[in-house]
Chain A
Amino acid sequence: GAVVSQHPSRVICKSGTSVKIECRSLDFQATTMFWYRQFPKKSLMLMATSNEGSKATYEQGVEKDKFLINHASLTLSTLTVTSAHPEDSSFYICSAGTRGNYEQYFGPGTRLTVT
């Protein structure tokens, strides 16, 4: 149980284009989904928290117009990196949790490379 998938696992895009990453909870309903970014030898950095049906809450320093998050259903959240630049290249990981339960279950991550 508690399986979270992400798609795509790897994506390469050109500078200036937009990329969408999907996060799905496969066997449970995720009332809350989280998006993280991970740099080499650094801890996971929370970018935003999204609750189903409402606007995402972004962490300080994260541009909400650049990283668009949608949590349209209890099993799907998407992160769109708009007008991507090379500095956006990173490992993006989503996680999902349920109301009243503190554990988060992580997806396998998406490696984004912007050329």
Chain B
Amino acid sequence: EDQVTQSPEALRLQEGESSSLNCSYTVSGLRGLFWYRQDPGKGPEFLFTLYSAGEEKEKERLKATLTKKESFLHITAPKPEDSATYLCAVQADYQKVTFGIGTKLQVIP
């Protein structure tokens, strides 16, 4: 059974304090690993797809990396507007996606 574990469950950062969120996964034949951002009461917003170990993608202050067992979402010099829950998900079978519980990030001014 596919499994996704995210850590930490919650993270509190000062504005400008860089950090990383972790997503460990167990999947038979990874087709893709996804990162989403979710604001309270809203649906997830797509951020990145990573397909193979060694791949990296960046968007503004966010950078996602992938190894064979885990993915990291690095946040550089975060701002309060980066506060949200970040979800990691993996896809093995065609279009069935397994989500982690998420990391709730709070960035304090």
Do chains A and B stick together as partners? yes
Binding site for B on A (CB under 8 A): 2, 4, 6, 32, 34, 41-44, 46, 49, 91, 93, 95, 97, 102-109, 111
Tell me whether A103 and B42 are in contact (CB under 8 A): no
Could you tell me the distance in whole angstroms from the C-beta of A7 to the nearest C-beta in chain B? 13
Binds A, one of B14-22, B52-60, B76-84, B95-103: B95-103
Question: Among the listed A4, A49, A91, A107, which residue makes an inter-chain contact with B95, where contact means beta carbons less than 8 Å apart?
Answer: A49
Contact between B34 and A108, CB atoms less than 8 A apart: no
B29 at the interface (CB under 8 A from A): no
Mostly, the B contact residues are strand
| B89 vs chain A, min Cβ distance (A) | 8
Most buried by B among A43, A46, A91: A43
A106 and B95 contact, CB distance less than 8 A: no
Q: Do B43 and A103 touch across chains, with their CB atoms under 8 A apart? A: no
In the bound complex, how far is the Cα of B101 from the Cα of A106, in angstroms? Answer: 17
| Count of residues in B whose CB is under 8 Å from the partner chain | 22
**Closest CB in chain B relative to A82 CB, distance in Å:** 23
Q: How far is the CB of A81 from chain B (nearest CB, A)?
A: 18
CB-contact partner of B49 in A46, A102, A107, under 8 A: A102
Residue of B nearest to A109 (CB): B43
In the assembled complex, the Cα of A44 lies from the Cα of B4 at a distance in Å of: 12
- Chain A residue at smallest Cβ distance from B32: A102
